[in-house]
């Protein structure tokens, strides 16, 4: 039996419930943006793309030379940013923030891919999750480093979108107040509190999404059934508290017993009567 399905020619959307997805669009497309949002043209067939954005490396033969880097994360971002990087006019900037080979890259509407981080800061082959919240992109990749190591190895980072062309200096540690990449993750209420240590290895959240004015995380090894919500409008605060509607929250997939491991994490909302 054949079950017909429509090709999402118009691309991806996050502004609909699963029951009311706009025609020719999809709520779930991993690392694929079939609609060229910069030129308003459909690019899902044999037509060439704007650029082969998954061809990133460090030696001879690719955009940055060498072996191909697998794309680990793609985040579509829009915000107002400094047009020059030194006090220029504020302009709307649409860009793709890409993680490949553990490095952060960005692509502007002119189609040019530029490196943001000077080297790999995430794992180089596994999944990385990222999401834009206001003027930052927040990242996590699940960790898997030895305990007592520096923040450089703990894999909670944020990228400031203040400038049209982001640079290495716009990357900072998400979990530390000062944002110093060399500081140890000493925060007890920040994102580093969403973690576990198993057999002397550190694990962070591996799934990250935005829901309303909060960020949500899950996928911590050893606590796969648990989800975490940041405080409202405060991505630095992950310390659950009772008695307030704005504080951070945490919970599980079931009550009173260990829940089922979460393998995917997404947001859905719709209006209902009553």
Give the pLDDT mean for 31-45.
57
What is the pLDDT of the chain when averaged over all its residues?
A: 74
Strand 214-220 with 156-160, pairing = unpaired
Edge-to-edge strands of the sheet including 136-140? 129-133, 136-140, 156-160, 171-173
Better pLDDT: 66 or 191: 191
pLDDT band for position 177 (cuts 50, 70, 90): low
Q: Closest Cα partner for 223 from 270, 269, 261, 188? A: 261
Q: Closest Cα partner for 174 from 213, 123, 133, 212? A: 133
Q: Closest Cα partner for 38 from 117, 98, 112? A: 112
Residue 262's pLDDT is 57
| Collapsed DSSP state (helix, strand, coil) of residue 224 | strand
Residue 136's pLDDT is 95
pLDDT band for position 80 (cuts 50, 70, 90): very high
Among 24-28, 105-109, 124-128, 188-192, the range of highest mean pLDDT: 105-109
Give the pLDDT mean for 29-41.
59
User: Would you give the distance in Å from CA 256 to the centre of its chain?
Assistant: 31
Residue 10's pLDDT is 72
Give the pLDDT mean for 96-115.
85
pLDDT band for position 270 (cuts 50, 70, 90): very low
Cβ count near 253 (within 10 Å):
14
Q: Closest Cα partner for 72 from 102, 52, 51, 97? A: 102
pLDDT at 4 over 70: no
Residue 255's pLDDT is 46
Residue 210's pLDDT is 92
pLDDT band for position 120 (cuts 50, 70, 90): confident
Q: 25-39, 165-179, 222-236, 246-260: which range is least confident on average?
A: 25-39
* CA–CA dist 157, 218 (Å, integer): 16
Give the pLDDT mean for 159-183.
77
């Amino acid at each position: 039996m054949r079950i017909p399905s429509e090709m999402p020619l118009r691309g991806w959307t996050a502004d609909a419930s699963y029951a009311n997805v706009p025609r020719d669009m999809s709520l779930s497309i991993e690392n694929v943006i079939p609609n060229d949002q910069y030129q308003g043209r459909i690019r899902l067939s044999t037509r060439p793309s704007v650029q082969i954005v998954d061809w990133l490396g460090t030696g001879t033969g690719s955009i940055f030379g060498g072996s191909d880097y697998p794309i680990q994360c793609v985040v579509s971002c829009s915000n107002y940013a400094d047009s020059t990087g030194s006090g220029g006019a504020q302009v709307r900037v649409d860009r793709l923030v890409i993680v490949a080979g553990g490095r952060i890259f960005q692509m502007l509407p002119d189609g040019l891919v530029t490196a943001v981080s000077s080297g790999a800061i995430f794992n180089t082959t596994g999944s990385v999750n990222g999401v834009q919240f206001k003027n930052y992109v927040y990242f996590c990749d699940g960790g898997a480093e030895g305990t007592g190591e520096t923040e450089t190895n703990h894999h909670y980072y944020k990228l400031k979108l203040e400038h049209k062309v982001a640079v290495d200096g716009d990357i900072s540690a998400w979990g530390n107040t000062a944002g110093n990449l060399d500081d140890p993750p000493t925060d007890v209420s920040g994102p580093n509190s969403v973690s576990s240590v198993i057999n002397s290895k550190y694990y962070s959240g591996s799934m990250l999404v935005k829901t309303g004015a909060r960020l949500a995380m899950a996928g911590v090894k050893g606590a796969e059934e648990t989800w975490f919500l940041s405080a409202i409008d405060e991505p630095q605060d992950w310390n659950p508290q009772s008695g307030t509607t704005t504080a951070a929250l945490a919970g599980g997939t079931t009550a009173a017993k260990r829940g089922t491991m979460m393998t995917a994490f997404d947001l859905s909302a719709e209006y209902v009567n009553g």
